[in-house]
Homo-oligomer: A and B are copies of this chain.
Amino acid sequence: MRRITNLRSPAFFVSSSAVGGREEGLGPLGGGFDFIDPSDEFGQKTWEMSEAEMGRVALNIAMRKCEISHEDIDVIIAGDLQNQCVASAIALDSFGIPHVGVYGACSTCTESLLLASALLSLGSYKRVATLTTSHNLAAERQFRAPVEYGAQRPPAAQWTATAAGAFILSADSETVDSHRKTEHPIGAAITEISVGRLIDGAITDGSNMGAAMAFAAADTILSYFSESELTPRDFDLIVTGDLGAVGSKILREILSEKLPTAAPRHEDCGLKLYDMKRKDVHSGASGCGTSASVLATHYLPMIERGELSNILFLSTGAMMSQSSLLQGNSIRGVAPAVRIQNLNSMGS
């Protein structure tokens, strides 16, 4: 069983965008978002449709940034947290772009980037896009209870982000060069992918997803470095999706014991999106929009500017549903990974 694939040709980022709601705008990365709707409504009558519209806006902005139209994208890979992924289906049908729907819970962003890189490697597609969305109020209603109930949240609970992240990848570095001349230069590419395994960490508490996902993140990181010739020292950062404070602590304890050089390089998107002192954020951000928007607003710009040259990026997903939790089933975690490099740091 081999998990890492070194891509024959890298998948170049040609554009990215992040769209968010009120809390995301108020957070430390708020200034990096391309569009914030402080009402969280995005002009729609239901939270479910607000999420779809947020996704549509994110993809539109990403296309506009690199001056391409929907006809220039061969495939879009998309997912969200709503039952049957209807948010992305409704967001995307007006574009008419061939569509691959994925469900990886909060691992959707990296899962999509991984598959987009694989599709580009086929050699017949020029550009593949990804779209990942989550909406706090759609998620609360679906997974827990309507917010009007005022149900109390335990300290391990996380705050589902109202956020969308869109990325456009190209097989062609010339396309990237032409876009680098614009005001939105992108100098990053995915060079390796590693598929995640489902790990049952025996957590049955839907308010403790960070713990449920930490074991899957550890599995992917340890497997990566046992298979790769690289060591954690070759990476500037090892970034997880939304383990939050509770899950990050567990992951670092595992890494400190089994791969000590990895632990100090770890950062978590769930601890980046909000001011952690704000009410109700508790253990940090979650929802698949978290890693998507933090990649778009924070890590990708740092890689483009050359402040980071090489990161291992893992979104982390907690596979569960209302009925699986009510039936007492434990949450399965999964953590796919992609290696993202600055173009200047890549070998020719």
Contacts and interface: CB of A to CB of B under 8 A. Distances in A.
Interface stretch (A19-27, A254-262, A271-279, A326-334): A326-334
B195 A75 contact: yes
B123 A90 contact: no
A6 B124 contact: yes
Contacts of A82: 321, 323-324
A71 interface: yes
Given A105-B84, A198-B99, A327-B46, A90 B1 contact: no
A253 interface: no
B322 A83 contact: yes
Interface residues of A, number: 68
A101 B327 contact: no
Contacts of A125: 2, 5
Contacts of A119: 118
Interface in A190-212: 194-200
Interface in A141-195: 142, 194-195
A13 to B, nearest CB: 19
Interface string A93-109: 10011111111110000
Given A85-B319, A324-B90, A197 B121 contact: no
B195 A83 contact: no
